Chain A
Amino acid sequence: MSVLIFVELDEGKLKKSSQEAIFYGAKVAGMLGTSATAVVVGQADDTELASAGRFGATKVLHAADAKLNEPNGMAYATVVAAAAQQESSKVVVLAKSSLADAMTARLAGKLKAGLAANVIELPDLSNGFRVKSSIYTGKAFAYNDLKADVKILAIKKNTITPEETDATATVDAFSPALNDSDFSITVKKTEKATGDVLLPEADLVVSAGRGLKGPENWGIVEELAKALGAATACSKPVSDLDWRPHHEHVGQTGIKVSPNLYIAAGISGAIQHLAGVNSSKVIVVINKDPEAPFFKSADYGIVGDVFEVLPRLTKAVQAL
């Protein structure tokens, strides 16, 4: 009856958000008096897979069928459902992500599972199975009672900080039967930024809005992000105007982020923007307008011109 954790790979490495999921899943397993098994799909070497043990998994099921090399929510759901069946898992944990979203839903359908998305705390098992999740795009929380036999918890980034040990997990090959129908979507082309910090995974985010005046000025945002090792993000008008790609747009209708540090430069702080970023641990706002609403939701604020302040911050980081 182990707790099953779906672990995502990024270029053959366990994703950071998945490391959090393993640690979270192992904690839940501890609460339930059972063990934690990770299921990993795609190509990775055994040392990397065994490192799931550092975060608390005792076993890794590795599905390495070449057909699964392309991320595919439908096929991955088939794999994870088979793993849940093999391990008699009643609790499945995973980190929210684009791939996980596609997979979780199919999996919930297959397992008739009770599902909580955007989970932000460990469950409370004192009276049933209750989990806290973020709703209304971060404007509120819900305490969800999961009543189904099988429960799926999709956790938000920064829900838990993994403590690492030097344990390793055993790695078992896993080759469940795949359905032809799971491969009915053909990927024609993938365009993915490489080398940058992925926004949903990032611990630090430097974000900028219309105050930057135009795409040609983004260099000062990128330089600060680079100095910090942060991801870059933007407000909605900025992506609507095509100054930045859509996958950088955060907020109510964009990506929801919960990094340790969110730096907002030249962003007014409209409620729709705040909604997607207000669960960041620390918020810094830089705006030349002292009345900008964002200052009300910030931990640190600088009233000033982004064109002067950002380069100074970059220099200060480089000098650390």
Chain B
Amino acid sequence: MKILVCVTSVPDTTTKIAFTDNNTKLNKAGVAFITGPYDDYALARAVELKEKLGASVTVLNVGEADAEPVIRKCLAIGADDAFRVNAEPTDSYFVAEQIAAIAKENNYDLILMGRESIDYNGGQVHGIVGEMLGIPSISPVMLLDIEGDVAKITREIEGGKEELEAKLPLVLGCQEPIAEWKIPNMRGIMTARTKPLRVVEPVGTDKLTAVGSYELPAPRGAVKMIKADEAETLIQLLRTEAKVI
């Protein structure tokens, strides 16, 4: 079985976001970049399936050279090889097109990725890839098992969950608790250095969207404190002042 895991390189979840250049660029100064937390789940499950079923795991990132440490970490965790499509991942359609192009050439049985990236939170790439390849897409996937050529999946829905079955090939957007995040060990880190990382140029399309500028939310006003032994006052304030109940 051949598994492709698509990963993003995103600011660490504790990052306070700031912009530069007249609010047109993310201020990367002091920002640690990590694998998207949801992508970490996808990778962890892929490595488990490899151990269980004997699959190969290829990692793919659409990103510039500064994303390579994130890719190497995925190799250290257990992926066998990697692609980096050398382009700034600005738009979900564009990213999906790059993934679909590589998938078409290499015939993966399973394409796993996070349910969404934590930068743009689009949550769209898996579905667009599925459409481009003409195969089913399912997200957000909480549990995944493979039996022969059938995937058994539990997906989260609003207010509950759903058990599904579908034949491979499939594209899945993953989230917890599909697997426990894996931390690279020393041996993994050493071998990651020698694993193949191919850099390929993007297939061309016009970008369908572009971000003109960014903005930060206005700070909230000062908090109004209410004494615990006058807690009832809160309900009055929510009704008369905030007018939300």
Is A317 in contact with chain B by the CB < 8 A criterion?
yes
Q: Give the total of A residues in contact with B, Cβ under 8 Å.
A: 97
Instruction: Known A181-B134, A187-B162, A301-B225; judge A98-B156 contact (CB<8 A).
Output: yes
The interface-forming segment of A56-64, A144-152, A168-176 is A144-152
Out of A144, A201, A284, name the residue touching B234 (CB < 8 Å).
A284
Q: Are the CB atoms of A261 and B244 closer together than 8 Å?
A: yes
Q: Which residues of the partner chain A approach B235 to less than 8 Å between Cβ atoms?
A: 313, 316-317, 320
Q: Are the CB atoms of B234 and A302 closer together than 8 Å?
A: yes
Q: Are the CB atoms of B127 and A73 closer together than 8 Å?
A: yes
Is B196 in contact with chain A by the CB < 8 A criterion?
no
Q: Are the CB atoms of B164 and A185 closer together than 8 Å?
A: yes
B89 to chain A, nearest CB (A): 13
Q: Are the CB atoms of A144 and B231 closer together than 8 Å?
A: no
Q: Which residues of the partner chain B approach A301 to less than 8 Å between Cβ atoms?
A: 223-226
Is A53 in contact with chain B by the CB < 8 A criterion?
no
Q: Mark A255-295, 1 if CB is under 8 A from B, else 0.
A: 01000110000000001100100110111110000000001
Out of B127, B175, B209, B214, name the residue touching A105 (CB < 8 Å).
B127
The interface-forming segment of B10-18, B57-65, B80-88, B186-194 is B10-18
Task: Please report which residues of chain B, range 212-242, place their CB below 8 angstroms from some CB of chain A when the two chains form the complex.
Answer: 212-217, 220-221, 223-228, 231-232, 234-239, 242
Is B79 in contact with chain A by the CB < 8 A criterion?
no
A123 to chain B, nearest CB (A): 12
Q: Give the total of B residues in contact with A, Cβ under 8 Å.
A: 81
Q: Which residues of the partner chain B approach A228 to less than 8 Å between Cβ atoms?
A: 245
Q: Are the CB atoms of B232 and A312 closer together than 8 Å?
A: yes
Residue of chain B at shortest CB distance from A135:
B120
Residue of chain B at shortest CB distance from A200:
B158
Residue of chain B at shortest CB distance from A309:
B231
Q: Are the CB atoms of B160 and A191 closer together than 8 Å?
A: yes
Q: Which residues of the partner chain B approach A303 to less than 8 Å between Cβ atoms?
A: 225, 228
Instruction: Known A192-B159, A299-B220; judge A185-B166 contact (CB<8 A).
Output: yes
Q: Are the CB atoms of B232 and A308 closer together than 8 Å?
A: no
Cα(A57)–Cα(B14), bound, Å? 42
Q: Are the CB atoms of A144 and B166 closer together than 8 Å?
A: no
B207 to chain A, nearest CB (A): 7
Instruction: Known A261-B238, A261-B244, A304-B228; judge A105-B126 contact (CB<8 A).
Output: yes
Q: Which residues of the partner chain B approach A272 to less than 8 Å between Cβ atoms?
A: 13-14
Is A162 in contact with chain B by the CB < 8 A criterion?
no
Q: Which residues of the partner chain A approach B217 to less than 8 Å between Cβ atoms?
A: 138-141, 278-279
Cα(A114)–Cα(B213), bound, Å? 17
Q: Which residues of the partner chain B approach A68 to less than 8 Å between Cβ atoms?
A: none
**Inter-chain contact count A-B, CB under 8 Å?**
280
A232 to chain B, nearest CB (A): 11
Task: Please report which residues of chain B, range 135-151, place their CB below 8 angstroms from some CB of chain A when the two chains form the complex.
Answer: 136-140, 142
Task: Please report which residues of chain B, range 95-140, place their CB below 8 angstroms from some CB of chain A when the two chains form the complex.
Answer: 96, 118-132, 134, 136-140
Q: Are the CB atoms of B208 and A271 closer together than 8 Å?
A: no
Q: Are the CB atoms of A117 and B134 closer together than 8 Å?
A: no
Out of A185, A279, A317, name the residue touching B136 (CB < 8 Å).
A185
Cα(A184)–Cα(B136), bound, Å? 7
Q: Which residues of the partner chain B approach A278 to less than 8 Å between Cβ atoms?
A: 217
Is B210 in contact with chain A by the CB < 8 A criterion?
yes
Q: Which residues of the partner chain B approach A297 to less than 8 Å between Cβ atoms?
A: 220
Q: Are the CB atoms of A102 and B137 closer together than 8 Å?
A: yes
Out of B120, B208, B209, B244, name the residue touching A281 (CB < 8 Å).
B244
Cα(A105)–Cα(B167), bound, Å? 20
Is B37 in contact with chain A by the CB < 8 A criterion?
yes
Q: List 8 A-B contacts (CB under 8 A).
A: A105-B125, A109-B131, A191-B160, A246-B177, A253-B13, A256-B121, A272-B13, A316-B231
